[in-house]
Amino acid sequence: MRITIPKKKDIVNHCLQWVKENFKVSDNGSTISFPFDIAYIVVKETIDSYVCFQDPLPEATRRKIISLGLRRWVKYKKYQNQSNVIISFIQALDVETRRLQKEFNIFQVWMFLNMDRRQLSTLEPIKILGDNIKVKQWNEIPKPDLLNKIWSEDHSNPILQDTDQPLWNRSKFIPVVLDVKASDHEAAADIASDRLDILRGALNFSKLCGVFSLFRQTPKPLSVILPSPVYAVFTTKNELVSVYYTIEKFDYQRADFQNDKLVDAAGLLSLFGKDLRYPDTYYFILKLVQLYQNTLDISSPQHAYLAMWQVFEVALSLEEEQVSQGALISRTKIAVKLDSLFQDALELLVKHRNELVHTGIFPERGDYILFTLKVIVDSCMNSLIKLAKHFSTVHELREYFSFASLGDMDLARKKGTISTIEGFRQKATRR
């Protein structure tokens, strides 16, 4: 765990000082209380935003560690007596992280995809960040009456009522399962949902890349492969622990893929098979695909437009904190050989984005500009995926865009300067 940016350190330090000044511990040390519960929640949320964990953790687990870490930090004097409050707090978090990891259990999470079994099976083995998603048969579900049990126990659940019992239509869905090591069933469902979103992102991007289609009637999500309507969490002893539902209402239809699209999806998934970390370029591509998938699940055109613009900004900001819109457009022209018509359209897209953010105004037929932006984003992502084969880190990718923006004479001059510096260093080494 770390906090590297000075401004973030100042904010976390301010939060910890507030905790230090306002907490109360009972005489026996068993109870810790704060006078302002809302302020304490704000403190936890702020710290959660600024602390970087070494290993990616599901949201539920991360929040739990932050809460336990704060309580450990205020309870024991060995942390309070240290002058650097951030270092002592990180130490408390490390203890709680190790303690919680010892209590991790294996869970089986069953999910359901609206896809043809034979087509999804061609992607097996489906390995995402070291975890295997396995395609299953309906009769392999640990609790054969799972669906009836869900319906009978949650018959008043409006989500199930509105879905017209989609899981009973087996022609639309296939079950898949993921074994997850997690602190509890909620964290297991979070991890499984995250892995499934990566799979959906690879499939949807491959199928929808470059596709330009307009809404003829009611706007709807662009996703073809939709979120699982149900996430059923089992123990390794096949005991049903909990069931989670996707609360958004989707029109589930079985998706169909052409072979070339499946080949593209398999190629993209192959990049995400092993555990990835920043600054690996494939990790950057992975987060981009997840963000793109989140956008595809949005039905409102104006909200989808802002979300797609965020994908555009993240793709071309390359993990830099502040990049001007002019720089983004410049990098777009490097990443994609845009027709002059689309270059002009970029300026218009910027205008619509600014109007939407500052005034809330969005054109009535906004799907036109949404799909124009989507086609540009698709091309940029494709370009970044290809460049990732040559530049293994985000730092190298940034340098590529920096050098690619130079003219031939400027590039030759920089190349000559770099060669001269290398020559000086070689001579110094030989001495």
Q: How far apart are the first and last CA of the chain?
A: 42
Other C-beta atoms lying within 10 Å of the C-beta of residue 309: 21
Question: Based on C-alpha coordinates, what's the Rg of the chain?
Answer: 25
Question: What are the start-end ranges of the H helices in 51-184?
Answer: 59-75, 77-80, 85-102, 117-121, 146-153, 158-162
- Prediction pTM value: 0.86
Query: How many Cβ atoms are within 10 Å of 369's Cβ, its own excluded?
Result: 21
**CB contact at 8 A, 272 and 128:** yes
Query: Do residues 201 and 293 make contact, with C-beta atoms less than 8 angstroms apart?
Result: yes
> What pLDDT is recorded for position 220?
86
Residue-level pLDDT at 346: 83
Query: Distance (Å, rounded) from C-alpha 126 to C-alpha 119?
Result: 12
Task: List per-residue pLDDT tens for the chain, 431 residues long.
Answer: 666 667 788 888 888 888 888 887 776 666 677 777 788 888 888 888 888 887 778 888 888 899 899 889 888 878 877 888 888 999 999 999 899 888 899 999 999 999 999 999 999 999 999 999 999 998 898 876 676 666 665 555 555 555 455 555 678 899 999 999 998 999 999 999 999 999 999 999 999 998 887 765 678 899 999 999 889 999 989 888 988 888 888 888 899 999 999 999 999 999 999 999 889 999 999 999 999 999 999 998 889 999 999 999 999 999 887 888 888 888 998 998 877 777 778 888 888 888 888 888 888 777 888 999 999 999 999 999 999 999 999 999 999 999 998 888 999 999 999 999 988 888 887 76
Residue with tokens 């904190």: 321
> Is the CB of residue 218 less than 8 Å from the CB of residue 170?
no
**In this structure, what is the dihedral angle of CA atoms 365, 333, 203, 60, given to the nearest 10 degrees?**
-90
Q: Which tokens sit at 122?
A: 């061609």
State residue 287's pLDDT score: 96
Q: How far apart are CA 200 and CA 273, in angstroms?
A: 14
Contacts 24+ apart (CB under 8 A), 68-76: 68/96, 68/100, 69/93, 69/95, 69/96, 70/19, 70/43, 70/44, 71/32, 72/96, 73/16, 73/19, 74/19, 74/20, 74/23, 74/25, 74/32, 75/25, 75/29, 75/32
CA dist 360 and 184 (Å) reads: 41
Return the residue matching tokens 């990098």: 331
Dihedral sign (CA 287, 209, 301, 346): positive
Question: Counting Cβ atoms within 10 Å, is residue 172 exposed (0-12), middle (13-18) or buried (19+)?
Answer: middle
Q: How many CB atoms lie within 10 A of CB 133?
A: 25
The whole-number pLDDT of residue 167 equals 55
How far apart (Å, rounded) are the C-alpha atoms in residues 190 and 176?
Answer: 15
Q: Distances from the Cα of 392 to the Cαs of 128, 129, 238, 282, 389, in angstroms?
A: 19, 17, 42, 8, 7
Task: Indicate the CATH number for domain 300-404.
Answer: 1.20.120
DSSP codes of every residue in 300-356: -HHHHHHHHHHHHHHHHHTT-S---HHHHHHHHHHHS---HHHHHHHHHHHHHHHHH
Each domain of the chain, given as residue ranges in start order, spans: 6-102, 105-273, 300-404
Helices first, then strands: H and E counts in the chain: 17, 8
Which residues have CB under 8 Å from 324's CB, separation 6+?
Answer: none
C-alpha closest to that of 315 among 391, 271, 376: 376
Which one, of 16, 9, 11, lies nearest residue 89 by Cα? Answer: 16
